[in-house]
Amino acid sequence: MKALSVVPQQAGSAALLDVDEPPVSDGPIVVETLAVGICGTDIEILSGAYGWSPPGRERLVLGHESLGRVLEAPHDSPVAAGDLVVGIVRRPDPVPCANCAVMEWDFCRNGLYTERGIKAHDGYLSERYRITSDFVVKVDAGLGQLGVLLEPTSVVAKAWEEIERIGSRAHWAPHSVLVTGAGPIGLLAALLGVQRGLDVHVLDRMSDGVKPDLVRALGATYHSGRVGDTGLEPDVIIECTGVSSVILDAMTNVGVGGVMCLTGVSSGGHEINFDEGALNRNMVLENVAVVGSVNANRRHYEAAASALAAANRDWLSRLVTRRVALEDWSDALTRHDDDVKVVIEVQPVVAR
Ligand code: BGC
């Protein structure tokens, strides 16, 4: 079968190669891959800045935002042949740490977790893969190819869960949310905010184009420029750019008693002149909480599956701005200005 793989930490090493069928050690459920979404993490892996190959191997199969159709599953598994499914990305560490021991691998404490398509475990960008029942999530068949949005939605479902748990440290009746960054993560975070009945604002650099249109189509308000110039003092900020100047601008504008959640990974090495004393003073006097959030556990995938099932299908399909055939994979990995989510189509999604 064909698989798209890289030599981690080596830029320009991506290649579509013939590989062996997936190993039985990956689980008894055999899945045919239909589509794989591309995100910033894949681009970082391709640039040689991130990613680890499986032990004893040179290459890592890419792909962590998956959608597949079950080909074979044991009788007692939660999925059956024909079901549309998504594979969970992270696997608990083998020790396991206290959090991985209770299936909260997204809070792994010792860093020995693996991640499919990212860290020491082949990803889903092969024609077929195998998986165990604990790590496969069934998606609403009516979503079709849009089920590929489940993994990024699980990341924002976790962010929302963290925000709500922290917010409820005291009386919590949030009204407004600001999302910084109108990429797929930002737009999905905004969708979950709208689903919660909040007054949602999204800020990005562009003043027109597909991103502002998608924000408005959600019933949210779009802003470009600086957070400080919006006049907002949001109860919740979800930061999805990873850009240090945006992060600090947002952090100084969280409303009283508000929660800011950081989801974007910065590259580091950007030092800026900043009044940390004033930031500290505001955060203390206004009980502001800032929290980082990465990855997602099964609970978050399930919350995400419900959120996608309830979302407007036309809006979701506008998030996928480019669909590229597996043979043309290099096009998918080259950024275009108007890209939101780019998806590699491995097989057509036709009902069987
Ligand atoms: C993935 C997460 C993963 C993180 C860090 C993100 O792109 O969506 O599942 O934990 O990268 O590797």
Confidence of residue 351 (pLDDT cuts 50, 70, 90): low
Element (H, E) at 292: strand 289-292
Largest CA distance in the chain: 61
Average of per-residue pLDDT across 305-313: 97
- Check residue 349 and give its pLDDT: 82
Instruction: Render pLDDT for 50-85 as a digit per residue (tens, 0 to 9).
Output: 999 999 999 999 999 999 999 999 999 999 999 999
| Inter-helix orientation angle 150-167/298-310, to 10° | 110
Mean pLDDT score across all residues of the chain: 96
| High-pLDDT (> 70) share of the chain, % | 99
The domains of the chain, with CATH numbers, are: 2-138+319-345 (3.90.180.10), 154-292 (3.40.50.720)
Nearest CA to ligand 1 atom 4: 295
Following DSSP, what letter does each residue of 150-202 receive, concatenated?
HHHHHHHHHHHHHHHHHHTTS-----EEEEE--SHHHHHHHHHHHHTT-EEEE
155 close to ligand 1 (CB < 6 Angstrom)? yes
Nearest CA to ligand 1 atom 2: 295
Distance CA 345, CA 33 (A): 9
pLDDT at 14 over 60: yes
From the alpha carbon of 296, which atom of ligand 1 is closest? 9
From the alpha carbon of 152, which atom of ligand 1 is closest? 8
Pocket test for ligand 1, best of 43, 45, 47, 64 (most atoms within 8 A of CB): 64
Instruction: Render pLDDT for 133-184 as a digit per residue (tens, 0 to 9).
Output: 999 999 999 999 999 999 999 999 999 999 999 999 999 999 999 999 999 9
65 close to ligand 1 (CB < 6 Angstrom)? no
- Check residue 267 and give its pLDDT: 79
294 close to ligand 1 (CB < 6 Angstrom)? yes
